[in-house]
Chains A and B, each alone.
Chain A
């Protein structure tokens, strides 16, 4: 009797264990322990746990952590492949896979870092992917465990020396200016908290351009945004972004923008597509062009392709500005229309070479006012009707050379040209050709 009861008891225990296994669940505490041990650089502890459990039942991120630690008797490649199949746009999984591959089969890791560049949703992962591709990573830094806490910070700092032919903002292209040398400081800070369903982040970007020979055009720009990203599917995000911009020129306020952006991003097998709508109000402080302030309705459609060692991005945008007409503008009297539609095409082609990255960013923008302005022609005083049409061309070529981990040398040349039908026969001449050269150092820090 006793033996049959013991048999029944053992059977129940066995069934419960089988049920737990069949339910494909590993307790959260155990998964948290694996992550903690990895973060404390104790892969031996992870390996000890790994011998006791079925690693394929872990959450995909934790499975990748376990795989990174080379569990005894398990093939990490199989585990990484399974984690990637379960979470196809999990950037942390790919980074861990890339680090593991770099340690064991360095050549094979390149394909993984290219994939990180394509799908990473955070700036730091993209930065380190470029370092691995540029081969400036040391064994010690590769072996250092990453901080896997759900809150991450990222800081980027640029210090550049520049020389610019016309230092004014292009909106003020009609002003006569002289070439100037200058210093440009850029900083970017982001703090993000990750959730299983997305992330919440705060981003601040600022730049200060100080010109030696044209201090009236010293420009300080600020951009602050808070982004709420929701994973509506494993490979699709919707991101809501309220933002404000503030800019000063020559030490006095120039403009202030505030609005809301909404982006949908789809991470497909070989490219990323995003569509974005921005609705914002631009307030231009006391300035010759303050009549051009108004409401902006902007729609952007972008595709990013990542063939091996290349990055090709394209973006098409349409920006409608709704402004009130005025009866005087830039010192002239008449009827001036300021509402306009702007069509913008941006591209970027970047090539990873063995020791540096080369990129070319051409863009073209066409502005057409919605109605004609009428004014007296300065040369003969005849009243004319002109519908403003501007075409802006920009080309930027840059080279970035990773020096050591987290520090790059960065040099660029930029050419910009505005071709406008507002010429010497109009109330202002908007035509301008500008050139800038710069060289600097870019560095970044992260909590990872």
Chain B
């Protein structure tokens, strides 16, 4: 029995030793013969790629060995955003840009500036998410990626841009109730609020550009750029690091609220979308649809308000107030 045991132990040791020598050092020999290309295609932390690109336009692509893509993105993002600053007076930076629509005179240049800034900012937000998404896919075998409670949103830019028009997204219980509820409240509020008559009218061109800014640029920017950035990247990374849904929702909704004009409403909406991202296992489609259509309603009401303010017809006709400014001595 003793002899048999010794033979078994000895055989196991020889077998284990052989396996180790063949497998481990075989791989080692390969590594020496074919050292990896020194600098290309290294895996990089998705967090570094995401935050790097958020703070430095073009860095995400650069870190992923696509320097020309990074340069093109940076040129479009920075160029259109700062190009916008040359077309109107700047005020505080907000998520829709830094140019305000003037309360008197022409609005065409300011509205064009807002469209440009909207494009630059939201394209930057989307690219930040995109590079984060690509880094996370490249790293999907890692323990951190596999253990993240919020699955990665894998939609392409086409999925993102068409999300507001997908029937599956519109019929989701996370979409139509909030769109209808918020719209009803906004329309009621609009019908009850007064409009200040502008001293000068607006040209047809001014009205068109203003309408395009409010009804197209802002809604598309919100679903195309904001949801992938705040819920697809920031919330997901915070969730991966903390494991807590509430901390993750706070991490995305605090900057989301601070960058919007109405902090409280934005905080509530951001929290709702944050919880939705968790409930739908990372699917951002329904929230993009809801975000888009709510902003279309807001944009339409702003546009109607502008038409009323210049004495034109608009639905619901809220009361008009004529303001007189007395000189101060």
A273 CA to B86 CA, complexed, in Å: 29
B residues with CB within 8 A of A: 6, 9-10, 13-14, 16-17, 20-21, 24-25, 28, 32, 35-36, 38-40, 42-45, 48, 52, 55-59, 62-63, 65, 67, 70-71, 74, 78-79, 82, 85-86, 88-90, 98
B interface SS class: helix
Which residues from chain A contact B14 at a C-beta distance below 8 Å?
A: 11
Q: Considering only CB atoms, which chain B residue lies closest to A371 in the complex? A: B89
Top 3 A-B pairs, shortest CB-CB distance:
A88-B38, A85-B35, A233-B42
- A sample of 26 inter-chain contacts (CB < 8 A) reads A4-B6, A7-B10, A12-B13, A15-B16, A22-B20, A24-B28, A56-B32, A82-B32, A86-B35, A88-B38, A88-B39, A89-B38, A233-B43, A233-B63, A236-B42, A238-B52, A238-B63, A262-B52, A263-B56, A264-B62, A264-B63, A266-B63, A268-B40, A275-B62, A275-B70, A301-B71
For A275, list chain B residues within 8 Å (CB).
Answer: 56-59, 62, 70, 74
Report the interface size for chain A: residues with CB under 8 A from the other chain: 48
Interface positions of A from 275 to 313, Cβ below 8 Å from B: 275-277, 299, 301
Instruction: List chain B residues, Cβ under 8 A from A15.
Output: 13, 16-17
The yes or no answer to A122 lying at the interface (CB within 8 A) is: no
Contact B85 A341 (CB under 8 A): yes
Pair B38/A269 contact, Cβ less than 8 Å: yes
Residue in chain A with minimal CB distance to B9: A8
A12 to B33, CA, bound (A): 31
A48 within 8 A of B: no
B20 touches A299 (CB 8 A): no
Indicate whether A363 reaches chain B with its CB closer than 8 angstroms: no
Asked whether A232 lies within 8 Å of B57 as measured between CB atoms, the reply is no
Cα A238 to Cα B55 in complex, Å, equals 11
* B65: chain A residues within 8 A (beta carbon): 266
How many residue pairs link A and B with beta carbons under 8 A? The number is: 120
Most buried by B among A15, A275, A325: A275
Q: Are B35 and A267 in contact (CB under 8 A)?
A: no
In the complex, the answer to whether B57 meets A299 with C-beta atoms within 8 Å is: yes
Q: Is A353 an interface residue (CB 8 A)?
A: no
Judge whether A234 is part of the interface by a CB distance below 8 angstroms.
yes
Q: Which residues of A contact B74 (CB under 8 A)?
A: 275, 299, 301
15 more contacts with CB within 8 A, not counting A23-B24, A24-B28, A339-B85, are A8-B9, A8-B10, A19-B20, A85-B36, A85-B38, A235-B39, A236-B63, A266-B62, A269-B39, A273-B62, A275-B56, A277-B56, A318-B78, A341-B85, A370-B85
A90 CA / B65 CA spacing, docked (Å): 19
Contact across chains for A22 and B25 when beta carbons are under 8 A apart: yes
A30 at the interface (CB under 8 A from B): no
Binary contact track A215-238/B, C-beta < 8 Å → 1, others 0: 000000000000000101111101
Q: Is A368 an interface residue (CB 8 A)?
A: yes
A234/B42 in contact, CB under 8 A: yes
| B42–A320 touching, CB < 8 Å | no
Whether the pair A299, B56 counts as a contact (CB closer than 8 A) is: yes
Q: CA separation between A268 and B79, bound complex, in Å? A: 27
Binding site for B on A (CB under 8 A): 4, 7-8, 11-12, 14-15, 18-19, 22-24, 56, 82, 84-86, 88-89, 230, 232-236, 238, 262-264, 266-269, 273, 275-277, 299, 301, 318, 320, 322, 325, 339, 341, 368, 370-371
**A264-B59 in contact given A299-B74, A371-B89 (Cβ < 8 Å):** yes
> Which chain A residues border B52 with CB–CB below 8 Å?
232, 238, 262, 264
Closest to B41 in A: A233
Q: How far is the CA of A85 from the CA of B30 in the complex (A)?
A: 13
Cα distance A262–B62 when bound, in Å? Answer: 14
Docked pose: A268 CA to B38 CA in angstroms: 8
The residues of B that contact A301 with a CB separation of less than 8 Å are 58, 71, 74
C-alpha gap A23/B24 in the complex (Å): 8
A341 and B70 form a contact (CB under 8 A): no
- By CB atoms of chain A within 10 A, which of B38, B45, B67, B98 has the most? B38
Chain A residues near B82 (CB-CB < 8 A):
318, 320, 341
Chain B, Cβ-Cβ closest to A12: B13
Known A-B contacts A11-B10, A232-B63; A262 and B55 likewise in contact (beta carbons under 8 Å): yes
Contacts of A82 in B (CB 8 A): 32, 35
Contact indicator B48/A238 (Cβ below 8 Å): yes
Residues of A within 8 A of B28 (CB): 24
B111 → chain A, closest Cβ, in Å? 16
Please tell me if the beta carbons of A89 and B17 are within 8 angstroms of each other in the complex.
no
Least Cβ–Cβ distance between B20 and chain A, in angstroms: 4
Residue numbers in B under 8 Å from A339 (CB-CB) = 85, 90
Most interface-central of B45, B70, B90 (chain A CB within 10 A): B90
The distance in angstroms between the C-alpha atoms of A276 and B25, with both chains bound, is 42
Nearest residue in A to B24 (C-beta to C-beta)? A22
A274 to chain B, nearest CB (A): 8
CB of B197, distance to nearest CB on chain A (Å): 26
Q: Which residues of B contact A341 (CB under 8 A)?
A: 82, 85-86
Q: Which one, A18, A232, A277, A368, contacts B21 given CB within 8 A?
A: A18
Please tell me if the beta carbons of A235 and B21 are within 8 angstroms of each other in the complex. Answer: no
**A266 adjacent to B56 (CB under 8 Å):** no
Question: In the complex, A82→B31 CA distance in Å?
Answer: 10
Partner of A233, one of B44, B71, B88, B98: B44
* Complex contacts, A235 vs chain B, CB 8 Å: 38-39, 42
Which residues in A have their C-beta under 8 angstroms from that of B43? Answer: 233
